[in-house]
């Protein structure tokens, strides 16, 4: 696990104070609904899981040509995506295409992040139980290395492949969608496919004020949902369209229970329906 300074949240007022002191766009955030989850891309996890499965069946892990797989997957996606009526990049930059693949659920080396601490908080507590976490990074940790390493931002992917050292590049895609705009999204791109973001970041000289992992105790989840809702941070805002509305139904019980009179009526309706079901079952018997 990366050497993050851990801070256990005592209240959402404390969180407000913490992020108020962080200048916009100088910090990057990522929310995890489980505080034990490491920083790993979907492609890294895919390779790891394939290795575990093949080891269980063959007695040894399968040797994977990771970069070849990434290249082939990219080629297949570009060839197939043009058949659908979806927005696509205007150039052939692989990272732009990886952003599209990530958007539609394909495994890539990209790791989603956001400039908004409250968007990260939403993803940390939108579902699940137990302690959640928000990773907070100061951009300069990555930018100083980027500026000394890359000569041309437009050929960043090709230059990544030529580097021998492990590092993480902060990438803001030119291709965008209403969802990416609403979430103030960007990506953390690793130079290696065989090591996780966590492992790569262990080589960085992280100061206490450069990388913080905020632990959100389970008991603060309920308050957090309402805190974010008052700020209009919700699935309907972060996922424009029918997807956002459907995701919002997951949080409906949080807000219904606030009206004690109405919840009493709903509970009575549930009991009445259950009584009817039992009666119908008895009659059939």
**DSSP-assigned states of every residue in 115-140:** S-HHHHHHHHHSS-SS-EEEEEEETH
Q: Are residues 112 and 176 in the same domain?
A: yes
Query: pLDDT tens-digit profile of 115-162?
Result: 999 999 999 999 999 999 999 999 887 776 665 666 555 566 776 776
Q: Are residues 231 and 278 in the same domain?
A: no
Q: Are residues 58 and 178 in the same domain?
A: yes
Q: Are residues 150 and 268 in the same domain?
A: no
- 162 compared with 98, residue with greater pLDDT: 98
% of the chain at pLDDT higher than 70 = 84
Domain count, the chain: 2
Long-range contacts of 237-240 (CB under 8 A, 24+ apart): 237/182, 238/119, 238/122, 238/179, 238/182, 238/183, 239/179, 239/182, 240/178, 240/179, 240/182
Q: Is position 245 within any domain?
A: no
Q: Are residues 168 and 75 in the same domain?
A: yes
- 260 compared with 206, residue with greater pLDDT: 206
Q: Is position 248 within any domain?
A: no
Domain of residue 168: give its range.
5-240
Q: Is position 222 within any domain?
A: yes
Q: pTM value?
A: 0.83
Read off the tokens for 24: 């916009």
Q: Are residues 130 and 65 in the same domain?
A: yes
User: What pLDDT is recorded for position 42?
Assistant: 96
Give the least confident one: 12-16, 96-100, 254-258: 254-258
Q: Are residues 236 and 258 in the same domain?
A: no
Q: 232 in the Ramachandran plot: left (φ > 0), alpha (ψ -120 to 50) or beta?
A: left
Q: Are residues 25 and 67 in the same domain?
A: yes
Q: Are residues 151 and 11 in the same domain?
A: yes
Give the least confident one: 134-138, 196-200, 278-282: 278-282
Q: Are residues 272 and 175 in the same domain?
A: no
Q: Where are the beta strands (DSSP E) in the chain?
A: 5-8, 27-32, 111-114, 132-138, 168-171, 185-190, 211-216
Least Cα distance to 243 among 166, 183, 154 occurs for 183
pLDDT(197) > 90 = yes
């Amino acid at each position: 696990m990366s050497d993050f300074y851990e801070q256990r949240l005592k209240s959402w007022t404390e969180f407000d104070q913490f992020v108020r002191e962080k200048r916009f766009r100088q910090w990057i955030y990522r929310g995890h609904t489980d505080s034990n989850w490491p920083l790993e891309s979907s492609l890294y996890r895919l390779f790891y899981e394939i290795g575990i499965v093949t080891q269980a069946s063959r007695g040894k892990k399968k040797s994977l040509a990771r970069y070849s797989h990434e290249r082939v997957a990219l080629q297949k996606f570009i060839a197939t995506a043009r058949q659908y009526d979806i927005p696509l990049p205007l150039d052939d930059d692989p990272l732009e295409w990886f952003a599209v693949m990530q958007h539609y659920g394909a495994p890539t080396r990209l790791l989603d992040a956001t400039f908004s601490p409250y968007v990260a908080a939403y993803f940390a507590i939108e579902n699940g139980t137990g302690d959640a976490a928000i990773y907070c990074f100061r951009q300069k940790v990555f930018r100083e290395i980027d500026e000394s390493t890359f000569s041309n931002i437009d050929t960043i992917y090709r230059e990544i492949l030529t580097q021998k050292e492990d590092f993480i590049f902060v990438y803001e895609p030119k291709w965008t969608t209403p969802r990416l705009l609403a979430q103030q999204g960007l990506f953390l791109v690793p130079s290696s496919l065989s090591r996780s973001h966590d492992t790569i970041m262990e080589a960085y000289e992280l100061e206490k004020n450069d990388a913080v992992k905020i632990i959100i105790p389970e008991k603060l989840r309920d308050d957090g949902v309402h805190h974010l809702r008052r700020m209009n941070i919700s699935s309907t805002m972060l996922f424009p369209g029918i997807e956002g509305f459907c995701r919002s139904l997951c949080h409906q019980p949080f807000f219904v229970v606030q009206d004690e009179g109405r919840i009493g009526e709903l509970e009575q309706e549930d009991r009445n329906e259950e009584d009817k079901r039992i009666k119908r079952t008895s009659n059939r018997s």
